Structure 1
Amino acid sequence: MKRTINKVLGLALGLAISWGAKATEAVDFNFDWQFRLTQDSVMGGDYTHNLQTDDGWTEVRLPHDWVIGGTYDQANAQFAPATGYIYGGGYGWYQKTFDLHVSEDSLHHILFDGVYNHSEVWINGHSLGEHPYGYSPFYYDLTPYLNADGKDNLLVVKIDHTRYADSRWYTGAGIYRNVKLVSSHKLRVPIWGTFVQTPEVTTEQALVSMEFTLDNGLDKKTKASYTVEIVDPMGVVVATQTEKIKLTQSSQQKVNVNLTVDHPELWGIDDPKLYQAVTTVYVKDTPVDQQKTRFGIRTIRFDANEGFFLNGENMKIKGVCLHHDGGLVGTAVPRGVWERRFKVLKEAGCNAIRISHNPGSEEFLQLCDEMGFLVQDEFFDEWDNPKDKRWNTKEKEVHYETQGASQYFQEWAESDLKSVMLAHRNHPSIIQWSIGNEIEWTYPRTAEATGFFNNMDWNGNYFWSEPPYNTEQIAQRLDTLPRGKYDIGETAQKLAAWTREMDTSRPVVANCILPSASHLTGYGQTLDIVGYSYRRILYDYGHENYPDKVIMGTENLAQYHEWKAIMERPFISGTYLWTGIDYLGEIRGPWPKKGTGSGIVDFAGFAKPSYHMMKSLWNEEPSIYIATQTLDRSINAIDEATGLMVAKDPEAWQHALWEWHDVNNYWEYEEGEMISVELYSNCDEIELFLNDSSLGKRSLSEFEDHIYKWAVPFAQGELKAVGTLDGIQIEEVLYSTTAPYAVELKVDQQQIDADGYDVVHVVAQLVDRSGRPVKDQNRKITFDIAGEARLLGVDTGSVYNVQQHSTNALVTDQGRALMIFQSIKGKTGEVKVTVSADGLEAGVAKVTIK
């Protein structure tokens, strides 16, 4: 029931209800579209006036990413690091006909949450405008161009994605986020016209400060009134205000309302309570408009010495960075896919998400509100100057295909930034606005001033060494090195000023890859928080040299040394690990590889070994994970003096980078072979058993790298770890298995709605005759869906899996694979999923769609 309520609240967010034909109504506009992909910028004919009906069009529903259904192909290697070996170039055309009720006093807008990218929109042959940035929401007024009877209106969207490698990661292409048709009275609160803040909060009382705009689109003076109601999480009105107002013709007026809520229920990471501000506008006692704005009552504070406070409680930000693709679904990510992924992250103790390196979708932020994630919403990856899309700083060539956001930054940056903030500012989950990511290397003067990137012969290392120049030398070089056409400090000040113009309740931050220089320029000086990108070595340097500046890790490695550095320093608020989940594109390494494997969770939502390390660091509840490996492939070795398993290089853990070392989560080797056993745990003490024979107890304090280690000669059977934390005992077991016997299926939901949105994740796992998962063998498996459902695709989760997603068959990895299917709007009944493999007993699962 809770899930259904959340879904309804999510759809209602910011828009309104059913007062009749003149009331604001946000209609789902995702269904019944047609799509065509061409390599020509024009199709011929009067394509913006007349519906095209030739064979080149296919029926689609939104959100839609036309790229992800393609084939991973080594032939696409020219720009493979960005695209993930899928070619996605061309011109995408979308068309939709629709009817609606039009009247003299009505307005109709089309609202796009995100279109990738370089879009142009027509209604009945009239161009409404162009929008190049793929991550900012935008809307157009359809009203002047609608057919007089409201019938057979034609909406056409053209997308130019010929710059198909315009980012350093997989972007997808298409109308990949939700679309709504917003119909309203001409006297209304406009789209994104409400801002709710809670500047004063105690346990006894909260001040709700609300500003909204009244837009009188009527050509006459109007006497109106409004009522603002604050509705608590249980649906009870807890505060209200009613006022009369006079509006001149064709005008806008700001209205400020302050209301008090007694004994507020606070929004927090463990119990994210959500309120609504309901604004109703009346003309002669007749309601003509209503807006529902969801918000949370909470306080945030960052302190240069003490770190981060939420609702007065000092806590660490345990965050991850996330790109916007959802693996096998590409960038058209159903809400249910994010929800499953967020649950996995939450179980690790993650409490924050940096949306990198672009603003998130409305649905994404709604889920963060509901599930209690703190959010850093990031505006741009490029400013004035381009980044090379293939190898970051290593190549300097600019191609048409790789032209990115810097090409239109000067013209569009302000409107994109402000549109994002208007659309997102009521989300209580957002605690930081980030104006940029690793911008410094695109300004040669800044990069050269530090000595990094172009002066590595001094035997230093970016990750582990302080700059070769001290602060005075860096300042002197900044003063004397030639400036480019654009200055990083001036641009940063401009962006920060626009941000503060829209909202001063959240700090302005950026992810700085060269903070030693940025602190000394207008860039770092204009920031409320200077985020350090892979520079934990500079935490003390930064705090000592700039004691009044808040600093934190905003892009860091999922390794113990990163978290240790943060826990030892109260002045560091926390971190965002790179990354929470593996993402497509930005490939490092040879074919076959489809993306970046730095995530603590893989493409299919399966937890990786690094996940379990972070879980042991981020949770107070006891946890144990068992990892094994042969000695020849292990980072460990047996100490000849003690006979104990130790790290081959005792210092290596302090310099571990993005990807975890090679380990397995099974107990299946050659009889008698010596195996390195690692345990990732927060238990104070663990005893290890092989077939009920104790292999001894060890304490976590023995291991500087936070990894328990044993040398164990392999024997078939059971490897069991029994640990204790604060008197609580837990155990974890690995079992030897026999040959695969069957395919076992698990579904995350037994019943879903026939709304065309709900999804089911089906995990197939090879098991032996005892039902134990077989992780060291793989088979080709085939998914079969019987019933009214739409296959979204399949994947194993492996970064090396380049099998096509838009199929029903693949070879497993670690004996498992994922398939996702989605309900079809209006189609109810039972869906039966059967997964078969040659020589194995098929797995069967049933799901009810209602």
Structure 2
Amino acid sequence: MFYGQNTKVESTVREKININREWKFKLGDDALAKAANYNDADWSNISLPHNFSIPYFQSAQWYTGYGWYRKYFDIPSSWKGKQIFIEFEAAFREAEIFVNGELVGTHQGGYTGFTFDISSKLKPGRNVLAVRLNNNWNARLAPRNGDHNFTGGIYRDVYLVVTNPVHVTWYGSAVTTPRVSKEKGVVNIKTEIKNDSQQSKNYTIKTEIVAPSGKIVAKSMSNSKIETGATVTVEQTTGAVKSPLLWHPDHPFLYKAVTTIFDGNLLLDRYETKFGFRWMKWTADKGFFLNGEHYYFKGANVHQDHAGWASAVTNAAIIRDVKMIKDCGMDFIRGSHYPHDPAFSEACDSLGVLLWEENDFWGSGGNQRESDNWFEGAGAYPVNADDQPFFEESVKTNLKEMVRIHRNHPSIIAWSMCNEPFFTGKGTIDKIRVFLKDLTKLTHELDSTRLVGIGGCQRGDIDKLGDIAGYNGDGTRLFINPGIPSVVTEYGSVIAIRPGKYDPGFGELQKEEFPWRSGQALWCAFDYGTRAGKFGKMGMIDYFRMPKNQYYWYRNEYKHIAPPEVAQSGIPSKLSLTASKKVINGTDGTDDVQLIVTVQNQDGKPINNSPDVTFEIISGPGEFPTGRTITFSNQSDIYIRDGKAAIEFRSYEGGKTVIKASSAGLKYDTIIIETQGYPIYSEGITPKTPDRPYVRYTTNVSGQPNSNINIAIQKPTRASSEMEGRTANKANDGDEASYWKAVGNEQKKWWQIDLENLYVVNKVSIALPVLGSVAIRIEISKDGQLWEKIADSILKGDGTSKKQSIDIDSKSIGRFLRINFLDSAKEISMSEVEVFGKTSN
């Protein structure tokens, strides 16, 4: 009945059973679907992880609304007298959980896990779990906006957890090393224990510290009386562990704290917590220190979604993501811009990657008004006063859950509160400042061992409201030696189609590693789905997890591995089909393989020709996001480029799968993937996965921003020069009292903005703060290098900062807009620039 279970700890006292297999799913809402006897025969047969929008391939729009899930499971007689919990690693994003028709709990927030005790709702034999889920926009829930997709679904793993009535609670162990050095380390363990039994008793709690070798190196034991129905926290501190093996990206040693609860000699529970010995220090003048040594980290931002599967990726795919970053020589990840899967933190721990874990308080460019859907670009913080307390509670709840779930991971070096919350409605920035201070204080209370970061803090005077400032984009030059520990949390932002340029794409990032700066993170590691369309193609690795040339630049720079030979055009002769591995371990949806097809000439040499290629399951179990077949085309969202294509394949039944890659006129190739586990697939008997043809999702809601919205507000800027206190960002900060001013003796003066997406610009408004006239030329560019003129004009300043509008007739598409001043001898300044246009998706 629980085929594919992958976690089972001390089955007599605690079981953790994966229940990803064999769910029923229906898109839409049906109030009757919670009932135990509801007829779901015509619903889709699916397994987890799952997403409303599968198959999804980076479209700028997606289904928004309700979806229902139902799961049947049996309760064995051996569970009599046990406590039984349902655990979700995440579900996006408002969930109602029913067992046998009765509501057991609700959860709001799409990036953190949750659990409910369902013991009292269960009965012997067959039971049914039903989940009503929606991904609707809600003014009172975080995030309210962001440069990503917000597709719904139970997209992470789900477990049944079975314990005795006296047990360690959900993520109930907090392990720290309050005193640690190269010579010795002391471990502190705070264990939260619940007594659901009918008796108040004294219990014995033992904790053993287990080294990577398996040797027990420290112990602690205590007794505690726990009243019936009570939850208590038992604190223990071990003796010193001599010469602990320190966690470090170069040697990521992990220990275990094994906590057991006894009633006399009777074992009631056993709970394991992995942790590491390491210590950190952040300084404003000398950067970051790890284990007493200066450490400048280099890495990238990571979104969680993958081609076809959207956010519903396996743990194995998550590990591959982290490994790809590690393999190119990077040692740092910013978890943009929400708490990631527990498997992500575990991968960073085991592979040795520093992690900036971020909460989902998030802003993005747009009209910053309230609306009823994601596409309208609502501000990071609610405009309506009635919504604000609920929203703040949402952010705090997500923060508390993030810290509780991820607190024991040694890879996590900071808790980040936000990303670019300065993108917010008029009149709310002051409340955001107060709120960020409140969040910082709360985080210190939740975890006193780590500092608090303010991510994306280059606008709004918010950079010093936490302990660490994370500057994005032009913040790398606007905040030189800011007097607070600091990180470049985003640089680069290069839109590229694979293979792309062999170039790092540093953008605003200075090549010098300043001694006061702690590290840097590229935007970004992987392409991702977003309402901003082409803006999601900024990864050094594409959406299908195939490296672009930028990835190979970094790998060569950091690890001195030469890039592969550039594929040349040739005469296609055959296909080569390979896999990341040939065995899938388990049928529970936590493992998968990546399949890659390469077009070759008759000599077996890879070439860059990209004909249509189809993968087809000839026999055996398994599925692609599109079902039993998938076709790649250079004219499709499911693309083949530079002679290569890739997709992730998974299976929920055991057996051997024969997969064929074919293309008209070329010699085909096959590969065999074996899935180990139960049930065993039987050809002709086991139901096959139905086809899920890909159709790009569209609605009648236009993407935003549109022609009525100023798309320049608070966006990154540059200029030919800047007077002190009159930097380029003063010309698009929404404050006409501030202004940019160029240095007077320059030969060429210009001001430039990154609109952070591709637009067709139809109007530019400019305000001059001083009297006089000046001739300008407006240019647009897709890459910031090749420029096209879209308008010439004469601006006349009357000293009032009155805006002058310039209509643009050009249909040219661009991301960067530059204003060139043709009268170079004049003093040049601008108090405000507004840009209007429509996205080009």
Question: Match for 1:815 among 643, 648, 652?
Answer: 643
Question: Match for 1:224 among 203, 206, 216?
Answer: 203
1:295, 1:803 → 2: CA distance?
A: 45
Matches within 5 A, 1:310-709: 310-382=290-362, 387=363, 392-393=365-366, 396=369, 398-402=371-375, 408-442=390-424, 444=426, 483-484=427-428, 487-515=431-459, 517-518=460-461, 523-538=462-477, 541-543=479-481, 546-547=482-483, 549-557=484-492, 559=504, 561=506, 565=510, 567-588=512-533, 596-619=536-559, 621=560, 623-624=562-563, 665-668=566-569
> Paired residue for 1:188?
167
Per-residue deviation, 1:49: 2.4
Is the contact made by 1:307 and 1:314 (CA closer than 8 Å) also made in structure 2? yes
> Paired residue for 1:661?
none
Task: Give SS of 2:308's match.
Answer: helix
Q: C-alpha offsets along residues 45-81 of structure 1, whole Å, 9 cap, x if unaligned?
A: 4x322243344311111111120226x7xxxxxxxxx
Per-residue deviation, 1:288: 0.6
Per-residue deviation, 1:203: 2.2
Query: Normalising by structure 2, what TM-score?
Result: 0.72
1:50 paired with 2:36, answer yes
Is the contact made by 2:492 and 2:509 (CA closer than 8 Å) also made in structure 1? no
Instruction: Name the aligned partner's letter for residue 196 of structure 1.
Output: V
Instruction: Name the aligned partner's letter for residue 47 of structure 2.
Output: R
The structure-2 alpha-carbon separation of the partners of 1:177 and 1:130, relative to structure 1 and needing over 3 Å to count, comes to same
Instruction: Name the aligned partner's letter for residue 24 of structure 2.
Output: Q
Instruction: Name the aligned partner's letter for residue 844 of structure 1.
Output: T
> Paired residue for 2:186?
207
Is the contact made by 1:560 and 1:613 (CA closer than 8 Å) also made in structure 2? no
Q: Which has the higher helix share?
A: 1
Question: Match for 2:109 among 101, 111, 133?
Answer: 133
Q: Which shifted more, 245-254 or 435-444?
A: 245-254
Task: Give SS of 1:422's match.
Answer: helix
Is the contact made by 1:740 and 1:767 (CA closer than 8 Å) also made in structure 2? yes
Q: Which shifted more, 568-577 or 84-93?
A: 84-93
Per-residue deviation, 1:280: 0.4
> Paired residue for 2:130?
156
> Paired residue for 1:724?
none
> Paired residue for 1:765?
598
1:743 paired with 2:743, answer no
1:355, 1:247 → 2: CA distance?
A: 39
Instruction: Name the aligned partner's letter for residue 821 of structure 1.
Output: F
RMSD: 3.0
Per-residue deviation, 1:756: 3.8
Instruction: Name the aligned partner's letter for residue 506 of structure 1.
Output: R
1:89 paired with 2:64, answer yes
The structure-2 alpha-carbon separation of the partners of 1:19 and 1:116, relative to structure 1 and needing over 3 Å to count, comes to closer
Question: Match for 1:69 among 31, 52, 55?
Answer: 55
1:769, 1:245 → 2: CA distance?
A: 74
Per-residue deviation, 1:225: 0.5
Is the contact made by 1:597 and 1:799 (CA closer than 8 Å) also made in structure 2? no
2:299, 2:134 → 1: CA distance?
A: 35
> Paired residue for 1:788?
620
2:128, 2:631 → 1: CA distance?
A: 43
Q: C-alpha offsets along residues 794-827 of structure 1, whole Å, 9 cap, x if unaligned?
A: 899999967466xxxxx632111113222333x2
Task: Give SS of 1:581's match.
Answer: coil
Instruction: Name the aligned partner's letter for residue 565 of structure 1.
Output: Q
The structure-2 alpha-carbon separation of the partners of 1:298 and 1:798, relative to structure 1 and needing over 3 Å to count, comes to farther
2:546, 2:410 → 1: CA distance?
A: 29
Instruction: Name the aligned partner's letter for residue 244 of structure 2.
Output: P
Question: Match for 1:123 among 99, 103, 110?
Answer: 99
2:152, 2:403 → 1: CA distance?
A: 23
Instruction: Name the aligned partner's letter for residue 846 of structure 1.
Output: I
1:608, 1:184 → 2: CA distance?
A: 48
Question: Match for 1:177 among 137, 140, 156?
Answer: 156
2:455, 2:242 → 1: CA distance?
A: 38
Instruction: Name the aligned partner's letter for residue 761 of structure 1.
Output: Q
2:254, 2:536 → 1: CA distance?
A: 35
> Paired residue for 1:285?
265
Q: C-alpha offsets along residues 758-799 of structure 1, whole Å, 9 cap, x if unaligned?
A: 312221111011111111x22111212233331224899999
Q: Which shifted more, 128-137 or 271-280?
A: 128-137
Question: Match for 2:584 among 752, 758, 767?
Answer: 752
Task: Give SS of 1:366's match.
Answer: helix
The structure-2 alpha-carbon separation of the partners of 1:490 and 1:566, relative to structure 1 and needing over 3 Å to count, comes to farther
> Paired residue for 1:845?
671
Is the contact made by 2:632 and 2:640 (CA closer than 8 Å) also made in structure 1? no
Instruction: Name the aligned partner's letter for residue 97 of structure 2.
Output: V
Aligned residues: 645
1:357, 1:32 → 2: CA distance?
A: 31
The structure-2 alpha-carbon separation of the partners of 1:168 and 1:801, relative to structure 1 and needing over 3 Å to count, comes to farther
Is the contact made by 1:306 and 1:572 (CA closer than 8 Å) also made in structure 2? yes
Is the contact made by 1:532 and 1:554 (CA closer than 8 Å) also made in structure 2? yes
Is the contact made by 1:566 and 1:574 (CA closer than 8 Å) also made in structure 2? no
2:529, 2:256 → 1: CA distance?
A: 37
Unaligned runs of 5+ in 2: 139-143, 382-386, 494-503, 677-841
Per-residue deviation, 1:116: 0.8
Unaligned runs of 5+ in 1: 1-7, 73-82, 445-482, 590-594, 627-664, 669-737, 806-810
The structure-2 alpha-carbon separation of the partners of 1:537 and 1:282, relative to structure 1 and needing over 3 Å to count, comes to closer
1:588, 1:160 → 2: CA distance?
A: 23
Is the contact made by 1:788 and 1:823 (CA closer than 8 Å) also made in structure 2? no
The structure-2 alpha-carbon separation of the partners of 1:121 and 1:167, relative to structure 1 and needing over 3 Å to count, comes to farther
Instruction: Name the aligned partner's letter for residue 845 of structure 1.
Output: I
1:832 paired with 2:658, answer yes
Per-residue deviation, 1:11: 6.2
1:801, 1:488 → 2: CA distance?
A: 45
Is the contact made by 1:794 and 1:817 (CA closer than 8 Å) also made in structure 2? no
> Paired residue for 1:308?
288
Per-residue deviation, 1:110: 1.1
The structure-2 alpha-carbon separation of the partners of 1:353 and 1:51, relative to structure 1 and needing over 3 Å to count, comes to farther
> Taking every aligned residue pair, what percent have the same amino acid on both sides?
26
1:144, 1:488 → 2: CA distance?
A: 42
Instruction: Name the aligned partner's letter for residue 477 of structure 2.
Output: L
Matches within 5 A, 1:718-729: none
1:575, 1:427 → 2: CA distance?
A: 21
The structure-2 alpha-carbon separation of the partners of 1:355 and 1:485, relative to structure 1 and needing over 3 Å to count, comes to closer
Task: Give SS of 1:93's match.
Answer: strand
Question: Match for 1:253 among 223, 226, 232?
Answer: 232
Query: Normalising by structure 1, what TM-score?
Result: 0.71
1:35 paired with 2:21, answer no
Q: Which shifted more, 373-382 or 417-426?
A: 373-382
2:635, 2:360 → 1: CA distance?
A: 29
Q: C-alpha offsets along residues 480-516 of structure 1, whole Å, 9 cap, x if unaligned?
A: xxx549612210011112211110111100223435x
The structure-2 alpha-carbon separation of the partners of 1:821 and 1:255, relative to structure 1 and needing over 3 Å to count, comes to same
Per-residue deviation, 1:401: 4.9
